[in-house]
Amino acid sequence: MFLPKFKAQKLYICVLKFAFLKTIYNTSNFISDSETYVTIGTFDGVHFGHQKIIEKLVFEAKKAQKKSLVLTFYPHPRMVLQKDTSVKLLNTIDERAQLLEKTGLDYLIIHPFSVEFSRMTALEFVKDILVNQLNISKLIIGYDHHFGKNREGNINQLSKYSHVYNFDVEEIPAQDIDEVAVSSTKIRRALLSGDLQTANHYLGYPFMLNGTVISGKKLGGKIGFPTANIAIEEPYKLIPKTGVYIVKSTIDNNIVFGMMNIGNRPTVNGNYQTIEVHFFNFNNDLYGKKLAVELLYFLRDEQKFDSISLLVNQLKIDAENAKIYLKNKL
């Protein structure tokens, strides 16, 4: 379950468009003469709590004339060690990289998490990864961080090793770490309950879905509401509550708004979940294109209507409500 090679290349090419962040796949590929300030974590969601920690890292690194670096892992350790296919993350690995690009970091390293990697002792991790590969000068880490084989490493061991290998360790206060955990839980619960306002508040940005437009049954076009059917490649991506949402996308450098349905299409006896977006005043062919869809507002729950005409009437109401919302918010 390593990060596929093409994924790493895509991330790296994507990041080269930006002047700030270099994304590197695997710590063994990292080469830098400069010493680094490092923090480690999953950073799923890259929400306000995470941003606070990263801002501190970037500020202190610049002040000391060092490079700031986040070390994260893919796949999620639970996917590898516990074979837990129920893990649902707020971000795909690509989304996480795109969000971290905006934080002012110098480096993002995505290291492949494997069973073999999990067997590395705490000392090996510090010596071989942090010191020899990342050229660490300072580690900023949570009070409850555990690492190495059987999670044997902790903040106390890090402090001991820091004296041996000549780097500093700064502990992130318990309050800040607990805030991250609470925020992550609130975001997941809010998304699954349709409370998009709360989710987006804690994220600090609109929750997003990224996928490829695939061919559907074209029922939307027949009733006056053509839709782009979005296929999400990553099975671990959290999908919000079924229902109708107001959304936004950037297509060919143009911002377009619309409404999206997540659900099983009960009115037409659908038997599997789909994600369909109807864009306002937009008729371009999107088949095969990659789309990033930002969720702005939850309009209503999915409903089963007694007829197609009743469904069409509701879609017209949804479109009108969406346009009123956008007019008031933009």
Same-domain check for residues 212 and 180:
no
Longest distance between any two alpha carbons in the chain, whole Å: 74
Contact 184, 90 (CB under 8 A): yes
Q: Is residue 190 part of a domain?
A: no
Q: Is residue 199 part of a domain?
A: no
pLDDT given for residue 268 in this prediction: 80
Same-domain check for residues 145 and 278:
no
Q: Give the 3-state secondary structure of residue 272.
A: coil
Phi-psi sector, 104: left (phi>0), alpha (psi -120 to 50), beta: left
Q: Which of 204, 216, 208 is nearest to 180 (CA)?
A: 204
User: Tens of pLDDT along 272-314?
Assistant: 899 999 999 998 999 999 999 999 999 999 999 999 999 999 9
Phi, psi of 297 (to 5 degrees): -160, 140
Q: Is residue 270 part of a domain?
A: yes
Residues of the chain with pLDDT under 50: 1-19
pLDDT given for residue 266 in this prediction: 81
Rg (C-alpha) for the chain, rounded Å, is 22
The packing angle between helices 196-203 and 174-193, to 10°, is 150
Same-domain check for residues 110 and 212:
no
Same-domain check for residues 267 and 125:
no
pLDDT given for residue 59 in this prediction: 96
pLDDT given for residue 308 in this prediction: 92
Same-domain check for residues 21 and 108:
yes
With residues binned 3-state (H G I as helix, E B as strand, rest as coil), the percentages for the chain, rounded to 5, are: 40, 25, 35
Domain that holds residue 38: 5-185
pLDDT given for residue 280 in this prediction: 97
Which tokens in the block code for residue 264?
A: 């099983």
pLDDT given for residue 1 in this prediction: 35
Share of the chain above pLDDT 70, in %: 94
Contact 295, 210 (CB under 8 A): no
Q: Which of 244, 250, 254 is nearest to 320 (CA)?
A: 244
CB under 8 Å to 29, separation ≥6 — which residues? none
Q: Give the 3-state secondary structure of residue 165.
A: helix
Q: Cα(216)–Cα(207) distance, rounded to whole angstroms?
A: 24
Q: Is residue 191 part of a domain?
A: no
Q: Is residue 196 part of a domain?
A: no
Number of Cβ within a 10 Å radius of residue 97: 24
Residue type, 295: L
pLDDT given for residue 32 in this prediction: 87
Q: Cα(124)–Cα(121) distance, rounded to whole angstroms?
A: 5
Q: Is residue 198 part of a domain?
A: no
Same-domain check for residues 227 and 81:
no
Same-domain check for residues 77 and 168:
yes
Sequence length of the chain is 330
Residue 11's CATH number: 3.40.50.620
Same-domain check for residues 87 and 177:
yes
Same-domain check for residues 142 and 224:
no
Q: Is residue 125 part of a domain?
A: yes
pTM of the complete model beyond 0.75:
yes
The total number of structural domains in the chain stands at 2
Same-domain check for residues 11 and 144:
yes
Q: Is residue 193 part of a domain?
A: no
Same-domain check for residues 253 and 164:
no
